[in-house]
A and B are shown apart, each in its own frame.
Chain A
Amino acid sequence: MFKSKTVGAPEIDQKAKEAYFTASQGQLILARFKSNRTAMIAAWALIIMIMMGLFAPFLSPYDPTIAGRDDQYENGAPQMPKMWDENGFSLRPFIYATERERSMATNFRWVVKENREERLYMTVFTRDWDYTIFGVDFTLFGQNVDVALIRSNIHLFGVEGGKIHLFGTDASGKDIFGRTLHAIWTSLAVGTLGVMISFVLALAIGGIAGYFGGWLDSVLQMITDAIRTVPQIPLFMAMAAFLPPEWSSEARFFFISIILGLIGWPTLARRIRTHLLTERSQEYVLAAELCGASSSHIIRRHLLPSFTSYIIVDLMISFPYMVRSETALSFIGLGLKDPVNSLGAMMQNVSKADVLLNYQWYFIPVFFFIALVLAFVFVGDGLRDAADPYSDNKK
């Protein structure tokens, strides 16, 4: 009855072919994406960074705000844990304790001396500062709201009897490693929010313009063009300055993302509209209309799927521009500023002549930023290649 059967080669082939022909659009895209090596590398990098950002509090040994500063190690160079030195091998990685001095003679720069005799051993799953993951904490109308999914004070690693700074510290002694991870999350959050808002707007406006065409299209086109022409800087300045001063940094950040979204929709809207205009006059839509389908049915079942892939790709591709806009704004001081942790705010610190010449480790967040942007872009390109139904005959 239940005879096991070895499946022969032609049968595997047949199964594969069936799988291919009955696969949904999503599965096809995924399969093609996976075969694109560059895109896969980028995707993994992206996922790793998102995870790092998500679990930033867990991964950072110290609080990235001024409360967690190391007042014994300001503007300190990165410390790499070692496993062995002239005093012998150690299973547990360690760093050296440091002493420092500063005076007019050293031009007020801290001169740090390592004490190679004193080792500070690393520990894992250390208890340190409290944090929440997926939590919110704000005061609204006099009521304090403080809920969280995960609340803990366990951190991945730490050091006994001292502090370890993998990426060094900034001028106040804040750990750059922790700040970078939190900054990735902030920038991602701002970007996501902005992209989502612009997506919704673009869909609505571009969709209406594309579907109905005619004079409605012309009017909407004109509005879109006008908004595209408005230069960003005055817009941001006014918005940023218009914020009530009582708002916290978080609220401000929320607002900035909304603004970014409001600026970003025209490009996407135009693309949607163009695509809709061409698709509308295709035969399959005509056929559906002749069959008596309603507008909403046509939109849902026929038009939308035809450019879902388009949209996904566009979303992916708008991300880096959003993140970049946030960075540029923070740089000129209109966006998020210290002490908020965002990649833009951290890059603001890099632009000081002093830092450029002496504290090159401030640049490390820049690399993360570059990696983040490149990852998004390559994933976006990969998705576009994968989503293209005619790309069978290509790489």
Chain B
Amino acid sequence: MKRLLWSSAALLVLPFAAYANCPAISVADMGGVAPGAFPAQYELGDFQTAAGCTMELSENPAVADFNAQIRNNPALPAVADRLPSEPLVVVPYASTGKYGGTLDALSNATEAGTSDFMSIRHVNLVRYSDDLETIVPNIAKSWAWNDDFTQLTFTLRAGHKWSDGQPFTSADVKFWYDNLALDPNINEKPKDYVTVGGERMTVDTPDDVTVVFNLPAPKPGLLAHFATHFAQAFQPKHFLGQFHPDVNPEADTLAKSLGFENGYAVIRAYYGNSDWMDTATPMLNSPDLVAKMPGDAAPTLESHIVVRETTEGRHFVANPYFHMIDTTGQQLPYINEMDELFANDQEVRLLKLVNGEVDYKTQSLQLSDAPLMLENQEKGNYTIQLKPKISMQTVSFNVTHQDEAKRAVFGDVRFRKAMSEAIDRDALNSTAYFGQGALQQYTGFSPLPEYIDPKWKTYAMEFNPEGTKAVLDELGLKDVDGDGFRELPDGAPLVINMQFATQGIAGQVVELISQNWANVGIKSAVKEVTPDEYRSAQSSNQLDVGLWEKGQPLGIILGNNELWVPPFENYFAHRSGMLWAEWVDSNGASGVEPPEYVKTLMADINTLQSTPAGTDEFKAIANRMVAAMVENVLFIGTALTPDPIYHSNKLKNFPEFKTASYEYYRTYPYRGAQWYLEE
């Protein structure tokens, strides 16, 4: 009888024990809770099981105020109705945060220098974790590939809502793809990243939470694309769709009633015909019409939404419908508001940073700014992290130079290798990089995966001016007129024009390299030009040497082959072999035929992109590609340098970044939603 009483009492108590609220754990102190399938985050169900608790949701006390600031938002429902039925449980880095504060940020202008700030609030289907190797869920709860990488299925979260309270479903993904990305009225030609090998995909939506991408050809890199790219794979169909003629037959009438020419004009006012999230909202581009429009800005899934915008700056408030919570059930984000100010001059921005007027900045900060920022850390109450960049400053010789004599010389791999060995990289590192650079040759993949032969990192890197002189003599570059500088084999004077723009390479580096080359008898003329002049000269094949940074991580290379196909990068970056590119684009009709190794590289990159990563075949191909690129010294590397990352000491839960680069979309891996401010 007693036993029955005790066991029934126990049975009665147990459920109450299970109703204990979830613990406040952090990455630093997991409190014994087993990690989930993905680092630093859980699905709600998984977390409740792992921690043995029941989540009690809570919200920011000021959330009603935010909701009021978002014009035309309906009355605020309870927090449980605002979150999806399975919100993402985020484990903060250091501690559970407190609500409050305004994050002050600095950008150049409305659409310039904004990506470090934008990526704080960015969301996409998936995300790279801060180890920059693991892909984890974000908007999507889970995903699945089919066997041959031609079908990618995402499962979304039930009950997920846009910032205006309307449901977010798979239809929004399909709307983005079919009606925005592929609509010729919005994008005349679909962007590269929405097609696979130039062919379109198709999107199926069997139900509200399932999205299926059907690819015309295998592309394992598509998943990584959704983790690294700024383009969010969804747009509000209920909001923008009402102005889209293919979705709403009354679209144009509706648009005209608001004072616009047609539906597409309204879409342009909100969406900017661009997947970038920093395009001007109607508050800025149609201030006289915005009052009658359904909202000041299009609804978003990001952690913050813009509520005020002028040409001086923007102001954001927390999104009341954001889908993440911390481990105690507090709805994220912690930071109430964000304020973005525009300052277009670098020195002015530096002064503001030094003065502690900004809470976070990394874009456009360079190593040369480091001393000033480091020594003012105490006074400005901020911390600087120096983390390696991905691209490094490189030099290349124009192997398809207009001048035949120069082309013969530059085209000879012995010349290029010798010139690489004439550079005193230690002096370069010490002078221009404060000794902080890691000397390395250009290897295409950056950082270099461990399965690549490390000998390529130091190929043609040793400082050997005597050896260089011997090689130059051998090549017929002798000093015949006794002025101390060598002439071309046919006797014509040789002067290498080194045109550079400070956006791509530091002036000091160019001057030092020029001096090193002068010491082995090669005369050069250094001239600084604007980036546009540099690009234009590069396009018209008038450069003697290319001087710009270069390098991409594996994840990007899987989706984009530009580093391996002439001209070896896109229009705004470091290109070489322009006439080879012409040959490739014209299918042999004009230009200069590239040598065999280039053709092999082109074939190899295509194979690599369709091969699953990590397999032996993959590693073999990668090794082959790096070998071909490095031993032909198409691009001469200097050193991998760090760049500064600035954050105020008031900003907590701010981790150590792994790199200082935009390649993984800057701040996105480091989970801005769980940052909080403490006075």
Contact = CB atoms under 8 A, between A and B. Distances in A.
A109 interface: yes
Contacts of A354: 350, 368-369, 371-372
Contacts of A172: 431, 508, 511-512
Interface stretch (B65-73, B304-312, B491-499): B491-499
A276 B560 CA distance: 70
B434 A108 contact: yes
A241 interface: yes
B542 interface: yes
Contact of B372 (A66, A67, A71, A357): A357
A305 interface: no
Contact of A241 (B354, B492, B533): B533
B347 A353 contact: yes
B493 A352 contact: no
A279 interface: no
Interface string A234-264: 0000000100011011001000000000000
Interface string A183-222: 0000000000000000000000000000000000000000
Interface string B535-555: 001000010000000000000
A69 to B, nearest CB: 8
Contacts of B368: 354
A339 interface: yes
B515 A67 contact: yes
Interface in B115-145: none
B537 A245 contact: yes
Contact of A249 (B427, B431, B527): B527
A58 B166 CA distance: 78
A144 B493 contact: yes
Contact of B347 (A67, A173, A337, A351): A351
A338 interface: yes
Contact of B525 (A67, A108, A144, A249): A249
B526 interface: yes
A69 B225 CA distance: 47
Contacts of A252: 527
Given A107-B371, A353-B350, A74 B499 contact: no
A139 B493 contact: yes
B656 to A, nearest CB: 15
Interface string B396-436: 00000000000000000000000000000001000100111
Interface string A316-360: 000000000000000001000111000000000001111001100
A245 B427 CA distance: 29
A67 B527 contact: no
Nearest to B523: A139
A245 B527 contact: yes
B396 to A, nearest CB: 17
Contact of B528 (A74, A108, A337): A337
A142 interface: yes
A145 B519 CA distance: 22
B90 to A, nearest CB: 33
B371 A171 contact: no
Nearest to B532: A241
Contacts of A108: 370-371, 374, 434-436
A102 interface: yes
Given A66-B511, A139-B493, A245-B537, A109 B375 contact: yes
A147 B526 CA distance: 23
A243 B521 CA distance: 28
A314 B507 CA distance: 39
Contacts of B354: 353, 357
B529 interface: yes
Nearest to A242: B533
Interface in A31-81: 66-67, 71, 74
B530 interface: yes
B350 A71 contact: no
Nearest to A241: B533
A66 to B, nearest CB: 4
Nearest to B345: A351
A338 B528 contact: yes
Contacts of B371: 107-109, 354, 358
A338 B515 CA distance: 15
B435 A245 contact: no
Contacts of A173: 431
A102 B530 contact: no
Contacts of B532: 241
Nearest to B351: A353
B425 to A, nearest CB: 14
B431 A248 contact: no
Interface size classification for chain B: 35 or more
Given A107-B371, A338-B507, A71 B431 contact: yes
B40 interface: no
A384 to B, nearest CB: 39
B505 interface: no
B514 interface: yes
Interface in B329-366: 347, 350-351, 354
Nearest to B355: A353
B374 to A, nearest CB: 4
B511 A245 contact: no
Interface string B375-394: 10000000000000000000
B534 to A, nearest CB: 9
A36 to B, nearest CB: 42
B73 to A, nearest CB: 42
Contact of A248 (B351, B515, B525, B542): B525
A31 B515 CA distance: 53
Given A108-B374, A354-B372, A66 B512 contact: yes
A352 B347 contact: yes
B354 to A, nearest CB: 7
A241 B530 contact: yes
Nearest to A66: B511
A354 B533 CA distance: 28
B644 to A, nearest CB: 11
B542 A245 contact: yes
B192 to A, nearest CB: 30
B53 interface: no
Contact of A142 (B427, B435, B493, B533): B493
B492 A245 contact: no
A104 to B, nearest CB: 8
B370 A71 contact: no
Nearest to A109: B371
A244 to B, nearest CB: 9
Contacts of A339: 507, 511, 526
Nearest to A249: B527
A353 B372 contact: yes
Contact of A66 (B347, B374, B495, B514): B514
Contact of A107 (B347, B375, B514): B375
Nearest to B491: A142
Contacts of A139: 493, 495
Contact of A246 (B434, B436, B497): B497
A337 to B, nearest CB: 4
Nearest to B495: A139
A142 B492 contact: yes
Interface in A67-126: 67, 71, 74, 102, 107-109
Contacts of B530: 241, 333
B518 interface: yes
B416 to A, nearest CB: 22
Contacts of B369: 354
A218 B230 CA distance: 60
5 contacts: A171-B508, A172-B511, A245-B497, A246-B497, A352-B350
Given A354-B371, A357-B354, 7 more contacts: A67-B518, A71-B427, A74-B431, A102-B435, A144-B481, A241-B532, A354-B350
Interface of B: 347, 350-351, 354, 368-372, 374-375, 427, 431, 434-436, 481, 483, 492-493, 495, 497, 499, 507-508, 511-512, 514-515, 518, 525-530, 532-533, 537, 542
The 4 A-B residue pairs whose C-beta atoms are closest, nearest first, are A107-B374, A354-B372, A108-B434, A353-B350
